[in-house]
Copies of this chain bind each other. A is one copy, B any other.
Amino acid sequence: MAGYDPSAFPAVAVTVDLVVLTVRNGALCVLVVRRGEDPFAGREALPGGFVRPDEDLLAAAARELAEETGLAPGTAHLEQLASYGAPDRDPRMRVVTVAHLALVADPPDPQAGTDAAAARWAPVDEVLPGLAFDHDRVLRDGVDRARAKLEYTALAASFCRAGFTVAELRRVYEAVWGRPLDPRNFHRKVTSAAGFLEATGETTTRDGGRPAQLYRRGPATLLHPPLLRADS
């Protein structure tokens, strides 16, 4: 950070890209948009856009997320993922992108969006590999982060609507980790982790069978003890 002359350095464009994940009927899905222009015209890519002059990085990501999904800001979990800046990652010019990871519950089908007419929720395995730019890598990093975070944080509840059952939460874990879990052990661990779940007192039979307790997410953000996946 010694003295510098800004004009001596080439213009760099800074964008935010979004890895927006959700769980839809048992599959981990990501929001992708089909590109209309070169480069990579016709290919699918992660949504994203430029950071505006007076906007913080996270604010830019939140704005893009709202634009792209139609969800009210603050509804979803959003965190910075990583930055990607290989010199040739965009053939037009030097673009450094700050990727963000978003987890949303129950998203509406994208269609009313402004220029997001070509957006869709796609199972992760379906679009991988094949995304534009270095977005395969970005998506993989995002999925890895989500998998890891489910282990030791209460983040999985971000994939669930307000009142959810233990079984619904379990299906989230199974979709993200891609592995079946024992319902009885999962129930024990999740209900005994302090601050993870709060019972609402209501029940539902929307999954059939015996009525299940409805929960909302508790105050805890870190899980003690963590919910480890078996060593794979």
Which residues of A come within 8 Å of B, CB atoms?
1-4, 6, 9-15, 17, 33, 35-37, 45-51, 53-57, 80, 82-87, 92-94, 96, 98, 115, 224, 231
CB-based contact A83/B98 at 8 Å: yes
Give chain B residues whose Cβ lies under 8 Å from the Cβ of A11: 6, 11-12
Query: Measured between C-beta atoms, what is the minimum distance from A175 to chain B in Å?
Result: 23
Given contacts A87-B53, A87-B55, is CB(A17)–CB(B1) below 8 Å?
Answer: yes
**Interface of A, helix, strand, loop or mixed by DSSP:** loop
A-B contact pairs, 25 of them (CB 8 A): A1-B35, A1-B46, A1-B47, A2-B36, A2-B115, A3-B36, A3-B37, A9-B13, A9-B50, A11-B11, A11-B12, A12-B13, A14-B14, A14-B85, A51-B85, A51-B96, A53-B94, A57-B83, A57-B84, A57-B85, A57-B86, A57-B96, A80-B83, A82-B82, A83-B98
Q: Taking CB as reference atom, which chain B residue is nearest A96?
A: B14
> Copy number of this protein in the oligomer?
2
CB contact between A98 and one of B3, B55, B85, B115 (< 8 Å): that residue:
B85
Give complex CA distance A96, B80 in Å. Answer: 14
How many whole Å from A120's CB to the nearest CB in chain B?
15
Contact status B12-A12, CB under 8 Å:
yes
**A50 to B12 Cα, complex, angstroms:** 11
Contact of A12 among B4, B14, B17, B115 (CB under 8 A): B14
Instruction: Return A26 CB to nearest CB of chain B, in Å.
Output: 28
Interface pairs A-B: 6 shortest CB-CB: A57-B85, A11-B11, A83-B83, A12-B14, A54-B87, A1-B48
Q: Is the CB–CB distance between A51 and B12 below 8 Å?
A: yes
**Contacting residue for A231 out of B46, B83, B224, CB 8 A:** B224
